[in-house]
Structure formats: C-alpha cells, structure tokens
C-alpha cells in the first residue's frame, strides 16, 4: 500500500505536516517506538508511530529523524496526545531528510493504525502470491519447448515488468526478451560478478551494479546435474553454467517471487540440456579424429573419417575447408606459473569452456560457430575448427606463374589474442586465485593430412602460454618461430645465472646513482642500435646517450656494437 492511501482513509484521522512529494512510497509494515535509536528494529518500508517520549528538547529531533531516514522507513506518524501540537523542530528535521510526517489526532489509537496497515499489507501480499502462482503455471506451460528461452523472458517482461537476459559464463548473450540487448561489456561484467560470487560461496541470487544499474543474477544449472551436492566441487561447473540476469534488486523480494525466478532458471536449463545434446554428435566425431591423430593413423584414414563426418562438421561449405586446431587446458589448485595438482578433472571443464569461447560469432564468424567440434583427452580439450577455403588470386602469367598456390588461405583465421580479448575478465573471476586457463592456436592447414602437425603446433603454443604469468593466457603459432618458444623452457637456475651476470652490475649501479642504465639499454636495443632514434625516444642529447652506453659496456665487459653481445642483452632482458 502507499502512504497516500493512509492519508485518504478518514477513519485514521491522519494530518499531513510535510512530505507531500513522497506520498507514493510503499508501506511494507508498521512499528511503534519511543526509543531514541530504534534502528536495530527497522528493515525499511515501515510506517513508524511515535508518542514523542524520546524527545526531551529540540536538539533530539534531528538525530532521531536522521536514523529513520537512514533505515529507509516510509514515513513517520507522531501522536498529539502527549504534547499537543507537533514540535516545529521535528517538522523541520523531517523536511530536511524528505521524510513524510503525519500528525495523529489524540482520539485515534496507534493500535487502530497498526491494525489497518497490517490488514492492507497482508491482503496485498496474498494477492501478489496468487498472481505469482498463476504466472508460474503459465511459465511452466510455455517453456523452451514452446519457443525457447525468449518465450519465458517475454512473460517475465509482460507480467512482472522484469527485463531479463540469459548469459553464458563469458557474458555472451544467449537470449533476451524483445529487441533489447545487453552491451557486450555489461554482459562480461555481470558474468564476472556472478563467477566471483559463486567461487566465494555466496548464496544466489547475486546482486551486481554495473554502469549505475542494479541486476540480480541467478545460476542456471544443467538439469542433468540438478543442485550441486555439498560434496561436489563448485569448480566442476562454475565455468560452464549459464546465468539469468534480471534488471532488479531481488534482495527484498517475497519468497514466492524468488521461487518463480528459480522455476524460470529450471525451464531455461532444459533448453541448455537440449543444446548440449545437439553437440553430442560433433563431440563424438572430434573424439574419433583426435584418437586417430594421437595413435598415428595414416593421413588417408583421417581424411576418410572427416569425409564421413562432413555432413555434420561441414554443412554448407561445399568445398574442403582449411583447418585450425585449438588446444585448451584448465588447471586448478595452482599458483601462477606453477603446475597444478587438483582432484577436479580439467578436461571436461576445458571442453565446455572452449566450446563457449568458439561458439561466439564475434570470434569465429557466423558461418563457423556451429561447425566447431571439441573433444577432450586427459586434462586438455582439443577443438577442430573448419575455415572456408579461400582461393588466392592468380598471378600474372610471367616468371613464377607455375609456382602459384591456389590453396592459400587468406580468409579469417583464429588469433590467440582475439579469442580471449572479450572473456579474460569474467573467466579470471571464475578461476579466482587457484585456477588457470591456457590456450594455444595452430596455423591453418590446407588438408586433413596436416592436422597432426597442427595439433602438435597448438600444444607447443599452449605450453608457451602456460609459461606466462596470469590466470588467462594464450599463444599463437606465430610465436613458435622466435625466441619466445625457447625462453619458457630455460631452467630457472640457468635464467637467474645468465641474467645476473649481465644485468646485476647495471641494476646495482642504477640503485646507487639513479643512472637509468637498464631503461637506456632497453631503448637502445628496441631502436636497433640507432643513436639518433634512441636519443629522441629518451629525450637525451646523443652525447649523453653515448656516455650511458659506454658505462654499460664498461660495467659488463661487453661491446654493444657486436651482434652477439646485443643478442645476449636482449635475451637477458626478456628473461629477467
């Protein structure tokens, strides 16, 4: 009920003293008090009745009203039986804190007001409960089988005026009501909030505020798993469960409405199971191809298996595609840069996560997402990604024309950095402080015969990513043709000895003299030994730069005009 309704009830004899603009506030209860500080008994939304016994002088009104306003009460009704007219200091305090103030005539008992408010509020809650039960019935008969999650979300919007979206664990929008879409960064931020709260054991729904808007986040778990048993490790599902984001604060919802939203998540979970079932065939085909690759099967056998799988993996491509291989590994119970030892199986988690990352059309394109097949073996997941074959333009008929390659792949290929750019923040929240995701991407190969080499290339790239700091790391095939491939596998004691021999004298000198020799060395090497470019970058005179480089050579016994010494310094800086 609203405060305005109380004022319009003649039997209550209330007289408004201030706060006319706030009369549309909802009243959820009533409380009578003469305590100077009743905050411990307030939860918000109450009409507070007081006989003013707490007031000894004018200075008492301000703190009393401040406490009520801070607790979020709907309004204050002061009785006239004790003091007659309501003191002006109380009226001023209520006006200052925008708290509606009523005067209760001495002939009206507080019990009369209390009984009226309780009766009205209880009746409204009963009506709300009946409506919620009816909506629940309608939702259950209009579930995903009747048109997908959008049907359920449309009902939430039309019947409860709730805007809601179904999101993946990476924040990708899976479904939404009407034409309203969540911006990508908002979805990613909500997924991050949800994953972080789930990992810390907070009870759902989780509350999150993004860009000034408050959302309530409900987990959507596969119906095959149901509620996660207490003995089940949350890490087994946290990176694969969907979530329902509702634009509302559910912290003060009635239990019936919360139950309704839980029913919605169960309906959407049915759709999640249906989509998972649709991936079963692609998963099995990928598993068969992976086993052939790992057992050393002849290329002809691998090609034959892919031809059989073509109707599922390559619908609509028309020609044999190029292929890329992506390898992912999720490890739990590890510190950054260390190997993981955990009872949580990483293979299935990595498989579900890699499917989610690659199914995003923004990453793989609209024509590729539904053709990706992901298998898992041991602790890693392996994805076979078909790419449309692109014919290179024919060269001029001149020298070298006979050497033209018509099967060159110039189309959109996967890049390691792009794969993780939009999902790094939410996944880092889900991995928390004990998990890591590392990912490697191969180059595109033009035939099934090259898949075995692509698999090894992707695995090597993933090892490069694993040697880097951070919770979510990726590396691509292009990094395997440089020193980046070698450095991660240099033993730690060799690293320390090598860098100490070259860089420690410079670091010590910098600490004593603030000479900035290390930054100078880095800039000099990045400028390929060009004196003028390096001096311009550092905003130094060339003679000052020559002095610093000379000091570096003197302290280390090296000559920066020699390629070998430049290379040693370059590697030492990269390994430090």
pLDDT single digits (tens) 151-164: 778 877 877 778 89
* Peptide linkage before 205 cis (omega within 30 of 0): yes
User: Among the listed ranges 28-42, 231-245, 282-296, 465-479, which one has the minimum average pLDDT value?
Assistant: 231-245
Residue with more model confidence, 142 or 305: 305
Q: Which part of the chain has CATH 3.40.1390.20?
A: 3-121
Question: Residue 140 — pLDDT band, cuts 50, 70, 90?
Answer: low
| The pLDDT value given to residue 103 | 93
Residue 528 has pLDDT above 60, yes or no: yes
Confidence (pTM): 0.59
Mean pLDDT of the chain: 81
- The answer to whether 119 and 131 are in contact (CB under 8 A) is no
In the CATH hierarchy, which fold is given to the domain comprising 280-391+409-489? Alpha-Beta Plaits (3.30.70)
Rounded to whole angstroms, the Cα distance separating 72 from 67 reads: 9
CB atoms within 10 A of CB 306: 23
pLDDT at 224: 47
Q: Where in the chain is the domain with CATH 3.30.450.30?
A: 149-278
Which regions of the chain carry the CATH code 3.30.70? Answer: 280-391+409-489
- Residue 339: what pLDDT? 45
What is the pLDDT, as a whole number, of residue 410? 44
* Class of CATH domain 492-575: mainly alpha
The mean per-residue pLDDT over the stretch 470-481 comes to: 83
Task: Kindly state the helix (H) or strand (E) to which residue 439 belongs, with its residue range.
Answer: strand 435-441
**Residue 222: what pLDDT?**
62
Measured distance CA(457)–CA(296) in Å, rounded = 16
Question: What's the mean pLDDT in 409-429?
Answer: 75
- Ranges for all domains in the chain classified under CATH 1.10.10.2840: 492-575
**Best CATH choice for the domain 149-278 from the list 3.30.450.30, 3.10.20.600, 3.50.50.60, 3.40.50.620:** 3.30.450.30
3-state secondary structure at position 517: helix
pLDDT tens per residue, range 166-222: 999 988 898 887 677 888 899 999 999 999 998 888 888 999 999 999 999 999 976
Instruction: Taking residues 91-112, report their average pLDDT.
Output: 92
Beta strands in 335-434 (DSSP E): 373-377, 380-387
**Cβ neighbour number for residue 393 with a 10 Å cutoff:** 8
Between the CA atoms of 7, 8, 9 and 10, what dihedral angle is there, to the nearest 10 degrees?
100
R_g of the chain computed on alpha carbons = 34
Residue environment code for 16-31, b if the CB has 16+ CB neighbours within 10 A, otherwise e: bbbbeebbebebbbbb
**Least-confidence region, from 71-75, 77-81, 398-402:** 398-402
Which is more confidently placed, 101 or 393? 101
Q: Domain 3-121 maps to which CATH number in 3.40.640.10, 3.40.1390.20, 3.40.50.720, 3.40.190.10?
A: 3.40.1390.20
pLDDT band for position 122 (50/70/90)? Answer: low
Across the range 416-434, mean pLDDT stands at: 83
What is the C-alpha to C-alpha distance for residues 262 and 220, in angstroms, rounded to an integer?
9
Report d(CA 167, CA 175) in Å as an integer.
Answer: 7
Calpha distance 353→237 (Å, rounded): 10
As to burial, measured by CB atoms within 10 angstroms (0-12 exposed, 13-18 middle, 19+ buried), residue 10 is exposed
**Per-residue pLDDT tens digits for 307-339:** 777 777 666 655 556 888 999 999 887 544 444
Beta bridge partners of 218: 244
Per-residue pLDDT tens digits for 488-514? 556 767 878 888 999 999 999 999 999
Largest CA-CA distance found in the chain, in angstroms, rounded: 110
Alpha-carbon dihedral sign for residues 153, 154, 159, 163: positive
Give, for 66, the enclosing helix (H) or strand (E).
helix 61-71
Higher pLDDT: 416 or 265? It is 265
Confidence band, pLDDT 50/70/90 cuts, at residue 289 = confident
- With a cut of 70, say whether residue 125 has pLDDT above it: no
Alpha-carbon distance 194 to 196, whole Å? 6
């Amino acid at each position: 009920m609203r405060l305005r309704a109380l004022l319009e009830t003649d039997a209550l004899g209330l007289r408004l003293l201030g706060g006319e603009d706030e009369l549309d506030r909802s009243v959820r209860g009533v409380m009578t008090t003469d305590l100077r500080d009743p905050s411990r008994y307030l939860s918000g939304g109450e009409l507070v009745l007081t006989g003013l016994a707490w007031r000894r002088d004018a200075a008492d009104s301000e703190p009393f009203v401040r406490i009520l306003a801070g607790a979020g009460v709907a309004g204050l009704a002061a009785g006239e039986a004790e003091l007659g007219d309501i003191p002006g200091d109380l009226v001023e305090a209520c006006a200052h804190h925008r708290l509606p103030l009523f005067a209760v005539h001495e002939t009206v008992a507080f019990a009369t007001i209390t009984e009226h408010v309780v009766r009205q509020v209880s009746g409204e809650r009963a009506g709300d409960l009946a409506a919620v039960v009816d909506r629940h019935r309608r939702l259950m008969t209009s579930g995903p089988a009747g048109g997908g999650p959008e049907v359920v979300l449309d009902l939430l919007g039309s019947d409860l005026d709730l805007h809601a979206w179904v999101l993946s664990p990476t924040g990708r929008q899976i479904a939404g009501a009407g034409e309203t879409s969540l911006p990508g960064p908002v979805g990613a931020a909500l997924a991050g909030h949800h994953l972080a709260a789930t990992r810390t054991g907070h009870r759902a729904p989780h509350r999150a505020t993004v860009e000034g808007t408050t959302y309530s986040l409900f987990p959507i778990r596969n119906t095959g798993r149901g509620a996660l048993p207490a003995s089940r490790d949350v890490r087994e599902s946290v990176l694969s469960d969907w979530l329902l984001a509702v634009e509302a604060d559910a912290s003060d919802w009635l239990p019936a409405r919360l139950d309704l939203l839980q029913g919605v998540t169960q309906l959407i979970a049915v759709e999640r199971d249906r989509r998972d079932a649709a991936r079963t065939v692609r998963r099995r085909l990928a598993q068969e191809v992976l086993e052939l690759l790992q057992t050393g099967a002849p290329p002809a056998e691998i090609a034959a298996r892919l031809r059989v799988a073509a109707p599922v993996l390559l619908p609509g491509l028309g020609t044999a595609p190029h292929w890329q291989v992506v390898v992912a590994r999720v490890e739990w119970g590890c510190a950054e840069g260390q190997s993981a030892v955990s009872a949580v199986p990483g293979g299935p988690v990595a498989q579900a996560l890699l499917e989610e990352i690659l199914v995003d059309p923004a990453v793989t394109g609209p024509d590729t997402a539904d053709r990706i097949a992901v298998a898992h073996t041991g602790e890693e997941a392996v994805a076979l990604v078909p790419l449309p074959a692109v014919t290179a333009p024919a060269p001029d008929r001149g020298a070298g024309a006979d050497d033209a390659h018509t099967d060159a792949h110039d189309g959109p290929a996967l890049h390691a950095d792009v794969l993780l750019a939009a999902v790094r923040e939410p996944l880092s929240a889900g991995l928390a402080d004990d998990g890591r995701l590392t990912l490697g991407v191969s180059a595109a190969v033009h035939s099934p015969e090259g898949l075995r080499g692509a698999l090894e290339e992707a695995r090597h790239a993933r090892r490069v990513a694993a040697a880097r700091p951070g919770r979510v790391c990726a590396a691509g095939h292009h990094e395997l043709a440089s020193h980046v491939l070698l450095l991660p596998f240099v033993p730690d004691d060799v690293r320390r000895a090598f860098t100490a021999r070259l860089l420690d004298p410079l670091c010590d000198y910098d600490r004593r003299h603030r000479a900035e020799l290390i930054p100078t060395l880095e800039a000099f090497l990045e400028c390929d030994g060009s004196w003028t470019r390096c001096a311009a970058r550092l905003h130094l005179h060339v003679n000052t730069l020559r002095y610093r480089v000379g000091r570096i050579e003197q302290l280390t016994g090296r000559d920066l005009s020699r390629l070998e010494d430049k290379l040693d310094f370059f590697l030492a800086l990269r390994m430090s």
